[in-house]
């Protein structure tokens, strides 16, 4: 544990951190990759270029300093980050590298304000946090490896099937090359691919939500070809049935957790429906007693993935209702037949399904999720009933 003096010194640096802002963590990443280029095979470099990862790290560092007296307040964030780290196969020894560059960054940007006392306090504080992550990640690695079909590290999989779902989304069914079982996951979790390809300068690790219920033998992910997306477009254009990929075991803390009689509302936009598909298929497979409501938004009919599958399931299951919004319907898109509403999601149009005791899971662009959250709050849904996932670096709504 940290002594009070150390905590007070760390808290005294909060104005310095806030003045530096994300420039602090941008400098940190530049420094780290310059001195330890091997870590480019671990970190998602696209998130560096977009600026999302430096902002996320700055928010995490600032939150740690502000909550240094009450680390329990960070338990949720720690769990989320630990799961993300296992999806990148983060190792204990890498924490020492990160810590060294973090302290050096403070010293280089903080000037005279960063005294030896400040460096010592932050060194102790970082050491405590690193130990928390190392221990939790070791537990997660072991839990997964010890389960039937589990493993640690990478495992070789073959693309068993490749299915175009829309103009921008394609599904990949992955089966282990060794023919053995694969560990079950909780719907909502993600799978990590570790890709080495002649078109890539570094090994690139990407995390994609699993889009079907667990079956013990294969996994399915559904990938959107992002504009300018180096890895997503590579998967779409250059990976085919029969090709092999290194896969890291499922992880993630965004998981379906609802009693059999609890109403469940699944809300998504675009490729955000992938974890929702996994949740929906599991709920139906388990013959969920509570009402299930599917709310999905996308650009138009060409980008609407899994439309036929959802329609079939709605026809088969009395307790499942589906509502679809097209932001800008195409000339061939027919209301009622292809979609229910145009524009952006307005939950008051499906208010009969918005119940205080229901559980709400949502995923999609930040703007969509923020709007969903505000609408749910306006419809008297408690924030504790809401669960969401941000693709990429975490952000609060």
Model confidence pLDDT, tens digit, residues 80-121: 999 999 999 999 999 999 999 999 999 998 888 889 999 999
- Count of H-run helices and E-run strands, the chain: 12, 12
Has 85 been labeled as part of a binding site?
A: yes
Has 271 been labeled as part of a binding site?
A: yes
Angle, in degrees to the nearest 10, between helices 116-146 and 75-86: 60
Q: Computed from CA positions of residues 350, 352, 356, 360, in that sequence, does the dihedral angle turn out positive or negative?
A: negative
CATH superfamily ID and name for 154-251: Translation factors (2.40.30.10)
- pLDDT of amino acid 164: 97
Q: How far apart are CA 125 and CA 216, in angstroms?
A: 42
**Residue 167: pLDDT above 60?**
yes
The least confident of 75-79, 139-143, 294-298 is: 75-79
Counting residues of the chain whose pLDDT is more than 90, the rounded percentage is 79
Question: Averaged over 47-71, what is the pLDDT?
Answer: 77
Look at strands 359-363 and 219-224 and give their pairing.
unpaired
Has 31 been labeled as part of a binding site?
A: no
Rounded (10°) CA dihedral 100, 106, 109, 110:
-150
Has 360 been labeled as part of a binding site?
A: no
What is the CATH code of the structural domain delimited by 264-389? Answer: 3.40.50.80
Q: How far apart are CA 156 and CA 142, in angstroms?
A: 19
- As a whole number of Å, the CA-based R_g of the chain is 22
**Residue ranges of domains in the chain:** 4-146, 154-251, 264-389
Has 171 been labeled as part of a binding site?
A: no
| Long-range CB contact pairs, 18-21, < 8 A, 24+ | 18/62, 20/109, 20/110, 21/58
- Of 251, 279, 175, 164, the C-alpha closest to 220 is 175
Could you give the residue numbers annotated as active site? 95, 137
CB neighbours of residue 139 within 10 Å: 12
Q: Computed from CA positions of residues 312, 315, 321, 322, in that sequence, does the dihedral angle turn out positive or negative?
A: positive
Phi, psi of 64 (to 5 degrees): -65, -45
Has 208 been labeled as part of a binding site?
A: yes
Q: Which CATH architecture has domain 4-146?
A: Orthogonal Bundle (1.10)
Has 273 been labeled as part of a binding site?
A: yes
Has 391 been labeled as part of a binding site?
A: yes
CB neighbours of residue 380 within 10 Å: 9
Q: How far apart are CA 217 and CA 336, in angstroms?
A: 37
* Helix/strand/coil (H/E/C) assignment for every residue in 66-121: HCCCCHHHHHHHHHHHHHHHHCCCCCHHHHHHHHHHHHHHHHHHHHHHCCHHHHHH
Question: Averaged over 57-83, what is the pLDDT?
Answer: 87
Has 207 been labeled as part of a binding site?
A: yes
Q: For residue range 200-257, list pLDDT tens digits in order.
A: 888 999 999 999 999 999 999 999 999 888 899 999 999 999 999 999 999 999 999 9
- Quick one: tokens of 75? 């338990």
- Quick one: tokens of 24? 């602090």
pTM of the predicted protein model: 0.91
Question: In whole angstroms, how far apart are CA 278 and each of 33, 43, 186, 219, 251?
Answer: 36, 27, 9, 11, 14
Has 388 been labeled as part of a binding site?
A: no
Residues 224 and 271: beta-carbon distance below 8 Å: yes
């Amino acid at each position: 544990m940290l002594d009070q003096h150390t905590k007070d010194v760390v808290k005294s640096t909060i104005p310095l951190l806030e003045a530096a802002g994300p420039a602090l963590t941008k400098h940190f990443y530049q420094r780290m990759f310059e001195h330890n280029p091997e870590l480019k095979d671990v970190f998602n470099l696209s998130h560096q270029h977009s600026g999302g990862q430096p902002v996320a790290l700055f928010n995490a560092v600032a939150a740690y300093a502000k909550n240094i007296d009450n680390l329990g307040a960070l338990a949720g964030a720690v769990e989320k980050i630990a799961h993300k780290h296992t999806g990148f196969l983060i190792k204990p020894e890498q924490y020492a590298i990160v810590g060294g560059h973090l302290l050096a960054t403070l010293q280089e940007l903080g000037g005279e304000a960063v005294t030896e006392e400040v460096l010592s306090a932050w060194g102790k504080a970082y050491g405590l946090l690193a130990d928390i992550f190392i221990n939790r990640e070791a537990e997660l690695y072991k839990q997964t490896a010890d389960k039937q079909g589990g493993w640690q590290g990478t495992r070789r999989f073959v693309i068993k099937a490749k299915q175009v779902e829309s103009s921008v989304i394609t599904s990949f069914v992955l089966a282990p090359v060794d023919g053995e079982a694969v560990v079950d996951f909780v719907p909502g979790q993600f799978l990590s691919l570790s890709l080495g390809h002649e078109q890539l300068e570094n090994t690139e690790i990407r995390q994609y939500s699993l889009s079907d219920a667990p079956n013990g033998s294969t996994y399915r992910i559904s990938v959107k070809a992002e504009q300018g997306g180096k890895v997503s477009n590579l998967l779409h254009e250059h990976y085919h049935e029969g090709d092999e990929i290194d896969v890291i075991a499922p992880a993630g803390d965004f998981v379906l957790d609802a009693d059999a009689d609890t109403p469940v509302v699944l809300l998504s936009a675009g490729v955000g429906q992938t974890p929702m598909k996994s949740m929906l298929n599991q709920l139906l497979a388990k013959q969920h007693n509570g009402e299930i409501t599917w709310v999905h938004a996308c650009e138009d009919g060409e980008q609407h993935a899994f439309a036929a599958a959802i329609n079939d399931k709605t026809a088969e299951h009395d307790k499942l209702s589906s509502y679809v919004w097209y932001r800008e319907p195409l000339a061939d898109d027919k209301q009622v037949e292809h979609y229910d509403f145009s524009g952006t999601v307005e939950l008051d149009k499906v208010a009969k399904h918005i119940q205080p005791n229901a559980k709400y899971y949502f995923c999609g662009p930040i703007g969509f999720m923020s709007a969903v959250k505000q609408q749910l709050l306006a419809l008297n849904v408690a924030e504790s009933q809401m669960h969401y996932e941000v693709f990429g670096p975490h952000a609060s709504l």
